[in-house]
Amino acid sequence: MTETTTELERIALKVLRGAPGPVGAYDVLEALKTVRPTAAAPTAYRTLAKLIDKGLAHRLESLNAYVACCAEHGGTAPLFSICDDCGVVGELADPAVASHLAAAVQREGFEAEKQVIELHGRCASCRSA
């Protein structure tokens, strides 16, 4: 971690990194309560937002869940592949895809403020099972 993280951020990040798939904010909240018993949902959401701002986590919009960042993006929006059978999430950064999408919408006169690319389907393991 390049930036300083708080104790709550470290706990939340440990939960995200240790989970086999995406994690809900209330699962993070339960872990935060181990050090701050009076913590409520806003504490979990603020902690997750700070991790996202620091580039250490991502929110999966379609699942309303969170994952630890596991790829170097270099400022490019990540792409997520989400298996609808087993829940595994893949993360990759492809600057060519991101710039192509930005250029395509710009030609239409649209200025994107945020890029979220989530592909749902079945992973190789689930397809071969």
126 belongs to an annotated ligand binding site: yes
* CA–CA gap between residue 27 and residue 119 (Å, rounded): 24
70 belongs to an annotated ligand binding site: no
Question: What tokens does 46 get?
Answer: 């603020």
DSSP-based three-state secondary structure for 116:
coil
123 belongs to an annotated ligand binding site: yes
Instruction: Decide the pairing of beta strands 89-92 and 57-60.
Output: unpaired
69 belongs to an annotated ligand binding site: no
Annotated binding-site ranges = 83, 86, 123, 126
Q: Summarize the annotated binding site for Zn(2+) as residue ranges.
A: 83, 86, 123, 126
